[in-house]
Amino acid sequence: MGKKRVIEKGDQAGSEVQSNAPSSSRGTGMKEGRVSVYSSYNNTIISLADRNGSVVFATSAGRLGFKGSKKSTPFAASKVAETVADVAKNKGVERIWVAVRGIGPGRESALRSLGTKGFEIQAIKDATGVPHNGPRPRKVRRV
């Protein structure tokens, strides 16, 4: 249904009502950013965050219009990375830290696309989870 907006009329002319909508100047002048790349077998999701970790922009291959098995291709991942890089350039980002998660086919091409956009890449961290001990084995079959 959406959020209800209440407009308050004040006695003073020129009083401003605060809104919860993000302003268009939010994030401008951001010199550093953190880029998180999540690449699974089905999709590639890339998000841009500021130094504090607040996500400024995020997009995925599905959001760009890739459907089905085309979402998991390296080409789709490079297009997602280019979209995030363009937004980061508009925000004024010069240096980025990259964290890569997942084992999908798009992780390498996303990194290459970010590297060719002219950012100063400070660090690349592989944050892929490592399974330990695994699930409980099946019970022994009795014949």
Question: How does 73-107 read in b/e, with b if 16+ C-beta sit within 10 Å?
Answer: bbebbbbbbbbbbebbeebebeebbbbbbbebbbb
Quick one: average pLDDT of 41-45? Answer: 95
Q: Structurally, what CATH architecture does the domain formed by 32-126 represent?
A: 2-Layer Sandwich (3.30)
Query: pLDDT exceeding 90 applies to what percent of the chain?
Result: 66
Quick one: average pLDDT of 97-102? Answer: 94
- Tell me the chain's radius of gyration from C-alpha atoms: 21
Mean confidence (pLDDT) of the chain: 85
Would you say residue 11 has pLDDT above 60? Answer: no
Would you say residue 1 has pLDDT above 70? Answer: no
pTM: 0.72
Query: How confident is the model over 57-68, as pLDDT tens digits?
Result: 999 999 999 999
Instruction: Write down the domain spans for the chain.
Output: 32-126
